[in-house]
Amino acid sequence: MTLELLLLLMQIYSIGCLSDSTCFVPSLSPNAHVVVNSTEKETQRACEIACGEDARSQCKTAHFQCSTIVYNNPACFLLGSGANSTVGCSAPVAIQSKRLTNCSARSDPRAELGSDHCTSAFYSEDLGLNRSGICNRTRDYILRGVDEFGARVSLDNDISNTLTSNATRNMWMYKFPATGFTKWLVAVSCATADATCACATLPMLSRPPTGGVKAQIDLKGACKNTSHKLSFFGGKFKASDTAQTFSTAESSSTTITCKAGIWLLNYVNGYNGWQITNATCAP
């Protein structure tokens, strides 16, 4: 078995108790259902995972009763199997019923995005599959999506990124070939960021070079001192990778900004940009 296949199989069975072959089919129900549990989830996908079930015994014990969900952001209701035909509702209720087989393939990357407070607008028409560069660079785009676990994620618009539809997992695969970084998504779109979605403080390198100082934010030139070089660790780097260091010319031609909760290092001319997790300027 190849390493790539082993990793794929591990990912297929890692989403709580929800197998990749499971889906939730919408319908209107006029009757009452037993509520197994209620909670809050940031996406419908996260609610579906809470209702998940596959062949493993621990999943049958914890989730066997849930056959249907009702999701009204952020409220997630897990409902039992079968409706009570003797108890009617004042109006039909929109439900999502769990189906373990014969699910339709995902075809619209935006369909499961829902409402997202970190974006000002989605531009799914600019989303490109099976090519290097997912969104064009004419706008200040990020990629915003819902990952396999139901979490909302922000991803950079590097010109080397690729997005492909994976029939085996029935998801989209975001990948940065240079490091092998992969993110599995049930929904994704090009988007512009809403300014109200903040970032955590950008730290310096864990082992900053001698004379290292913080990089500057939202200004042309990532380093205040133009004789300094910018060193940073990328969001798609492997843990074993070393920090990348730009020349003084490159450092002066870049800017660091916060977009939808992630820090981005972009060339001022818009040519390219990456997510970074820390940054330091040093002689």
Output DSSP code: residue 225: S
For residues 91 and 129, membership in a common domain is answered with no
Average pLDDT, the chain: 88
Q: C-alpha angle 35/38/42, rounded to 5°? A: 140
Domain's final residue, options 44, 67, 99: 99
In a shared domain, residues 89 and 7: yes
Confidence (pLDDT) at 86: 56
**Residue 160 in domain:** yes
pLDDT tens for each residue of 4-19 = 333 333 333 446 678 8
Q: Is 91 in the same domain as 160?
A: no
* Total structural domains within the chain: 3
Q: Which of 193, 224, 239 is the last residue of a domain?
A: 193
Q: Are residues 15 and 79 in the same domain?
A: yes
Q: Is residue 219 part of a domain?
A: yes
pTM of the predicted model as reported, rounded to 2 decimal places: 0.88
18 and 78 both lie in a single domain = yes
Residue 4 sits at φ, ψ, to 5 deg, of -60, -40
Domain assignment present for residue 200? The answer is: no
- Burial letters for 213-249: b for 16+ Cβ neighbours within 10 Å, e otherwise? ebbbeeeebbbeeeebbbbbbbbbbeeeeebeebebe
**Calpha distance 65→82 (Å, rounded):** 10
- Largest distance between two CA atoms of the chain: 78
Alpha carbon distance 182, 270 (integer Å): 24
For 21-57, how does the pLDDT look when each residue is reduced to its tens digit (9 = 90+)? Answer: 899 999 888 778 888 889 999 999 999 999 886 545 4
Segment among 50-64, 152-166, 173-187, 210-224 with least mean pLDDT: 50-64
CA distance readout (Å), 140 to 114, 183, 195, 208, 267: 21, 21, 13, 30, 11
Lowest mean pLDDT among 88-97, 124-133, 166-175: 88-97
Tell whether 53 is covered by a domain: yes
- Inside any domain, residue 44: yes
Asked if residue 110 is part of any domain, the answer here is no
First CA to last CA distance, the chain: 48
How confident is the model over 113-144, as pLDDT tens digits?
Answer: 999 999 999 999 999 999 999 999 989 999 99
Q: Which residues are paired to 273 by β-bridges?
A: 266
Of 193, 223, 245, the last residue of a domain is 193
Q: Which domain holds residue 46?
A: 3-99
